[in-house]
Amino acid sequence: MDPTTLERISPYEWRIPQTGDMRVPAEIIADEDLIRGMDEKVRQQITNVACLPGIVRAAYAMPDAHWGYGFPIGGVAAFDPDQGGVISAGGVGFDISCGVRMLATDLTAAQIRSKQQDFAHEMSRSIPAGVGSQGHIHLDDAGMSAMLSGGARWAVAEGYGTVEDLARIEEQGQMAGATPDMVSARAKRRQRDEMGTLGSGNHYLEVQEVTDIFDEAAALAYGLSPGQAVVTIHCGSRGLGHQIGTEYLREMALAAPGYGIALPDRELACAPIDSELGQRYLGVMRAGINCALANRQILTHLARDVLERFFPGCKAPLLYDVSHNTCKEELHEIDGEERRLFVHRKGATRSFGPGMGDLPPPLSKVGQPVLIGGSMGTESWVLAGDDRSETVALSSACHGAGRAMSRHQAARTWTGSGIRKDLAARGIIVTSPSRRGIAEEAPGAYKDVTRVVESAERAGLARRVARLAPLVCVKG
Amino acid sequence: MADDAGSPGWSHFPHQGDVGVRGIGRSMAEAFENAARALTEVVAPLASIRSEQSVTVSCRATDPSILLLDWLNEVTYAMATRSMLFGEFHVRISGDVLKGEMRGEPVDRARHEPSVEPKGATLTELCVKQQPDGLWLAQCVVDV
């Protein structure tokens, strides 16, 4: 994208002025080089989002934005139900509540390195990952409904993890307002064998070393220190979320004209929040959020089991769990007035600044942890929500490095064996059932994550707290 | 075999985060069959899949592009819930009804090395049309 075609607000904020059918402007938060690297489709998609009914303030693209479907990945948009605002299945995505959680262990990276090969092997054996893998938990109808209502709270009650974990999860581990009875039988069937599975693609479990601290106070509050080992889990709502997305994308695309919604592109399929369809999607999408929270909670339990076997007595408390693909009802101040909005974050993280939201005391003082995944060969980051993020982008931040190259091109450029060998030479062990899967996820296929987080920090979305380097990566 | 310059077959087209699947055929039905082959190739090489079991599906939509969406989502659903891969597809379209048969085998992780699971077909770049050369094109972006 050519930055000269945008209106420069600051070195890290760029505006597409409101023209034509746009109801608000669109804003892209990134430095000039990241903008240059963005696909022209990001402009088209974020401009289209700005045309949707009831949108408030602006349609935002985060520094890691790339071409998605409907909304760009890295897209944020809030809608007011009192102004005819809409909810969009494409604005949430198929992988509802895909997200990241981090366990801040009391182990050092040196301890992991001392058993790295065996530990990586055992972790990959214990975490069901990749196409065709099945979980160890198979829920009956009543169990499925309880899980879809209870989220991580259900998982803890079933013995996966601890009550202390719940305070460290958005919504305290349980999304209110879920309607499991409205979730289709097909969505439930698709989930039957997938509880406690990682998935494939860009999903991973990674053991990382804290290499640098940038904000001592926040690091102390988060329980992070140099040389420490952490475990990061990236996955979502699995087959259930995928099937909900499939069903509602179709239904909303066909129903939109009946609601008098003129879509700039059919891929923006949506329905008024207050409509029967909008409310029905909201309820099942919230069940999907609970499914993702339960899934990450089970995987946490499995990871802790492996840690215990290798390092008896070690602790791995949950630092935080963030969701990326959601639509949440939140209060935001718009032009001096507090308004109830439905905020879509697709490939974007909530980023509450100090004192905001429902964060437990140690986190509330410094802001919400924002967990940024890099690629399996590059650094990841822990950021803290900045109090300016509310003004800049409705308390939102980036979610990862963002792809710079398609899977297709990556698989033609690299081989899985080559990538695995190169990373092993750098002390990083990658396990995966698929060599092509590794090639498609090659570090070179992603943007420079450091540049992404620097843009997020300088724009006021989130402050850098700690940099992490990968030691072990279990890929799907 | 992947299509080249408009001959019947399948191909992938680039999308930054996900994958575009495209089928070209002498009929709409053949284009749909080839789009399903492209979908399978996102996961594993077609040549590695044996035709051991058959699954039949049907879908209905008046809009041909929605019919393609439904067909690819039926293939995705069968892959996910049966833990199978399919390499052979037969489609019949009559009016707004599609009847499809897919043949394949259970996923063998060692032999297939499946790389990524499709989540669902999207409305992005969704298109079903007869081209000026008379061949049919059926395509969309699939979330992976």
* Residues B60-111: tens digit of each pLDDT: 999 999 999 999 999 999 999 999 999 999 999 999 999 999 999 999 999 9
How many domains, chain A?
1
Q: Closest partner residue to A242 among B13, B120, B126, by Cβ?
A: B120
Domains along chain B? Answer: 9-143 (3.55.10.10)
Is A399 a residue of the active site? yes
Tell me, what CATH number does A220's domain have?
3.90.1860.10
Q: Which residue has the tokens 């309880």?
A: A146
pLDDT digits (tens, 9 = 90+) for A236-247: 999 999 999 999
Q: Does A434 touch chain B (CB under 8 A)?
A: yes
How close are the terminal C-alpha atoms of chain A, in Å?
32
Domain-located, residue A411: no
Question: Which residues, other chains included, contact B93 with Cβ-Cβ below 8 Å and sequence gap of 6+?
Answer: B28, B29, B32, B67
Q: Which residues pair with A195 in a beta bridge?
A: A137
Domain-located, residue A275: yes
CB contact under 8 A, A245 and B107: no
Q: Over pLDDT 90: what percentage of chain A? A: 91
CB contact under 8 A, B114 and A239: no
Virtual CA dihedral for A273, A153, A473, A312, nearest 10 degrees?
170
* Residue A466 · residue A224 · CB < 8 Å: yes
Q: How far apart are CA A154 and CA A244, in angstroms?
A: 21
Q: Does A121 touch chain B (CB under 8 A)?
A: no
Q: How far apart are CA A314 and CA B36, in angstroms?
A: 48
Q: Which residues pair with A232 in a beta bridge?
A: A102, A206
Task: Provide the pairing of β-strand A204-213 with A270-272.
Answer: unpaired
Q: What is the pLDDT of residue A377?
A: 87
Domain-located, residue A431: no
Q: Distance, in angstroms, between A408 CA and closest chain B CA?
A: 7
Q: Distance, in angstroms, between A306 CA and closest chain B CA?
A: 23
CB contact under 8 A, A199 and B117: yes
Q: How far apart are CA B34 and CA B11, in angstroms?
A: 8
Q: Helix, strand, or coil here: B114?
A: coil
CB contact under 8 A, A131 and B114: yes
Q: Which residue has the tokens 């891969």?
A: B85
- Residue A36: give the domain boundaries: 3-404+446-475
Report the half-sphere exposure of A137 (CA within 13 A, side-chain side). Answer: 22
Residues within 8 A of B (CB atoms), A 15-44 only: 39, 41
Q: Which residue has the tokens 């002390």?
A: A427
Q: Closest partner residue to B122 among A69, A95, A405, by Cβ?
A: A69
Q: Helix, strand, or coil here: B22?
A: strand
* Residue A108 · residue A315 · CB < 8 Å: no
Confidence band for B4, pLDDT divided at 50, 70 and 90: very low
CB contact under 8 A, B80 and A239: yes
Q: What is the pLDDT of residue A264?
A: 85
* B114: chain A residues, CB-CB within 8 Å: 130-132, 200, 433-434, 437
* pLDDT surpasses 80 at B1: no
Chain B: residues touching A (Cβ < 8 Å): 12-19, 43-44, 66, 69-70, 73, 76-77, 80-81, 83, 106-107, 109, 112-117, 119-124, 126, 141, 143-144
* Surface-to-core class of residue B2, CB atoms within 10 Å of its CB (0-12 exposed, 13-18 middle, 19+ buried): middle
* Residue B40 · residue B10 · CB < 8 Å: no
ipTM exceeding 0.90, yes/no = yes
Average pLDDT of adjacent 10-residue blocks, chain A of 476 residues: 96 97 97 94 96 97 92 97 96 96 98 98 95 90 97 98 97 98 97 94 96 98 98 97 96 94 88 98 98 98 98 98 97 95 97 93 96 92 97 96 86 94 96 93 92 97 98 94
Strand order in the sheet with A7-10: A7-10, A13-16, A26-29, A59-69, A71-79, A337-346, A326-334
DSSP string spanning A293-334?
HHHHHHHHHHHHHHHHHHSTT----EEEEEESSEEEEEEEEE
Q: Does A95 touch chain B (CB under 8 A)?
A: yes
* Residue A411 · residue A436 · CB < 8 Å: yes
Q: Helix, strand, or coil here: A471?
A: strand
Average pLDDT over all residues of chain B: 94
CB contact under 8 A, A434 and B18: no
Domain-located, residue A420: no
Confidence band for B47, pLDDT divided at 50, 70 and 90: very high
Domain-located, residue A410: no
Domain-located, residue A433: no
Question: Which residues, other chains included, contact B44 with Cβ-Cβ below 8 Å and sequence gap of 6+?
Answer: A131, B85, B112, B113, B114, B115
* pLDDT surpasses 50 at B2: no
Question: Which residues, other chains included, contact A442 with Cβ-Cβ below 8 Å and sequence gap of 6+?
Answer: A375, A377, A410, A413, A414, A419
Domain-located, residue A427: no
Question: Which residues, other chains included, contact B114 with Cβ-Cβ below 8 Å and sequence gap of 6+?
Answer: A130, A131, A132, A200, A433, A434, A437, B43, B44, B85, B107
* pLDDT surpasses 80 at B6: no
Name the percent of chain B in helix, strand, coil, to the closest 5: 30, 40, 30
CB contact under 8 A, B144 and A201: yes
* Residue A399 · residue A64 · CB < 8 Å: yes
* pLDDT surpasses 70 at B27: yes
Residues within 8 A of B (CB atoms), A 254-283 only: 254, 265-267, 269
* A269: chain B residues, CB-CB within 8 Å: 123
Report the half-sphere exposure of A43 (CA within 13 A, side-chain side). Answer: 17
Chain B residue with CA closest to A38: the answer is B16
CB contact under 8 A, A246 and B76: yes
